Structure 1
Amino acid sequence: MTTRAPSKRIAAKAAPAPAHAADGSEWRHTALEVRPGFLIRRLHQIHVALFIEECAPEGITPVQYSILTALDQMGPSEQIALSNAVGLDRANTADVIARLAERRFIQRRGSRTDKRKKVAELTDVGRALLARLETGVERAHQRTLAALPAKDRKQFIEYLVRLVETNNELSRTPIRRERKSAAATGDA
């Protein structure tokens, strides 16, 4: 696949504003299609479309896949731990878990130590689904990065990680990595 350079029109509009633009007008005079927020949102939309295309036979969304992957990596976990791991608010996490449970990809039970808490666990059906999704997910990731030269892909991912980690606390739903323990599952 060949990579395309930005169009001359976009490159011209992307010229930095004068250094004296301390009033914040630098971005106002920058073309929308080269602003970081716009590009990040568009790339997310593109990746979701590729993911859905590649994984269409299974009818799984990227958020559902994230929950399944987190359970695969973390083991049985309370819903709050899953919410923290994938950066999704509690209500949406509970909704996704309910839909995955309906399809028997996960099972839910009350915590042995605190009946108010729910623990989710990947089922054998869910593990089999993850195995079937592996090739499609791999293709979606590859297609998302395909326009970059192979030598630049790792650096791009490193930059994304740095941006997310540096700004994580600014999110409405910051990602909180919890180590697997009895506290994470509510079971001692």
Structure 2
Amino acid sequence: MSELSNDDIQAQLDAAISRSALLGRPGFLIRRLQQIHYGLFQDETRTYNITPVQYSLMTTLGTHGEMDQNTLAREIGLERTSVAEVIPRLEARELLLRRQSTQDRRVKLVKLSRKGLYLLKKMDASVQRAHDRTLEGIPEDQRQLFLLQMIKLVEANNDRGIAPFRLGKAEE
């Protein structure tokens, strides 16, 4: 990785910000990058008719198995009401199964169906292409550092979000 001096970094930032003041605002850049990734995700996965949120939900269920809707919301950092809106759509497509908990009838448990597991696996390459395309503008030798910096920002600010994201325990 070619090392940039602080002066080089500042000069590049100043040049970018001179084109638009918004380029100096992390919140704007994060929102804009999310919009770009959403478009790339849709471009790569259009034939599956799955949104990034639906894919996150399915990935979590595919990794952890059956869980209640509130836990699922925390696992993907989404409001419970949003999860409650997404689940019926996936259930209608027979991609997941929902049932009442035998311990607490108020609790709904969800898990991927066989069809959902199959679709999740089938989408892997398309989703990876969307992620790769999102990072295309960064040299390959800098992509892991970029991901690490994003992880640090999420971890440092996770408790300030609208919906908490359950972070696993860090390895020591």
Instruction: Give the TM-score band, short-chain normalised.
Output: 0.7 to 0.9
TM-score (norm 1): 0.79
Q: Which secondary structure state, in structure 2, belongs to the residue aligned with residue 119 of structure 1?
A: strand
Identify the range of structure 1 (30-39 vs 94-103) with the bigger mean alpha-carbon deviation: 30-39
Q: Which secondary structure state, in structure 2, belongs to the residue aligned with residue 14 of structure 1?
A: helix
TM-score (norm 2): 0.86
Residue 67 of structure 2 aligns with which residue? Answer: 77
- Determine which of 108, 115, 119 is the counterpart of 2:109: 119
CA distance in 2 between counterparts of 1:11 and 1:105 reads 48
Q: Given that residues 97 and 113 in structure 2 are in contact (C-alpha distance below 8 angstroms), is that contact kept between their aligned partners in structure 1?
A: yes
1:10-159 residue pairs with structure 2 within 5 A? Answer: 11-12=14-15, 14=17, 31-159=21-149
Q: Which runs of 5+ in 1 are unaligned?
A: 1-5, 16-29, 180-188
CA distance in 2 between counterparts of 1:13 and 1:95 reads 40
Number of equivalent positions: 159
Give the C-alpha shift of residue 33 in structure 1: 2.4
Q: Which has the larger radius of gyration?
A: 1
Q: Which secondary structure state, in structure 1, belongs to the residue aligned with residue 78 of structure 2?
A: coil
Give the C-alpha shift of residue 75 in structure 1: 0.6
Q: Given that residues 105 and 125 in structure 1 are in contact (C-alpha distance below 8 angstroms), is that contact kept between their aligned partners in structure 2?
A: yes
The share of aligned pairs that are identical, in percent, is 42
| CA spacing shift, 1:106–1:144, aligned 2, 3 Å | same
Give the C-alpha shift of residue 9 in structure 1: 9.6
Structure richer in helix, relative to its length: 2
Q: Which secondary structure state, in structure 2, belongs to the residue aligned with residue 121 of structure 1?
A: strand
Q: Given that residues 16 and 23 in structure 2 are in contact (C-alpha distance below 8 angstroms), is that contact kept between their aligned partners in structure 1?
A: no
Amino acid paired to 1:97: I
- Determine which of 132, 153, 160 is the counterpart of 1:163: 153
| CA spacing shift, 1:151–1:178, aligned 2, 3 Å | closer
Q: Given that residues 110 and 117 in structure 1 are in contact (C-alpha distance below 8 angstroms), is that contact kept between their aligned partners in structure 2?
A: yes
Q: Given that residues 68 and 108 in structure 2 are in contact (C-alpha distance below 8 angstroms), is that contact kept between their aligned partners in structure 1?
A: yes
Residue by residue over 1:14-44, the C-alpha shift from the partner in whole angstroms, topping out at 9 and shown as x without a partner, is 38xxxxxxxxxxxxxx811231111111100
Amino acid paired to 2:108: K
| CA spacing shift, 1:178–1:97, aligned 2, 3 Å | farther
Q: Given that residues 10 and 31 in structure 1 are in contact (C-alpha distance below 8 angstroms), is that contact kept between their aligned partners in structure 2?
A: no
RMSD of equivalent CA atoms: 2.1
CA distance in 2 between counterparts of 1:77 and 1:104 reads 17
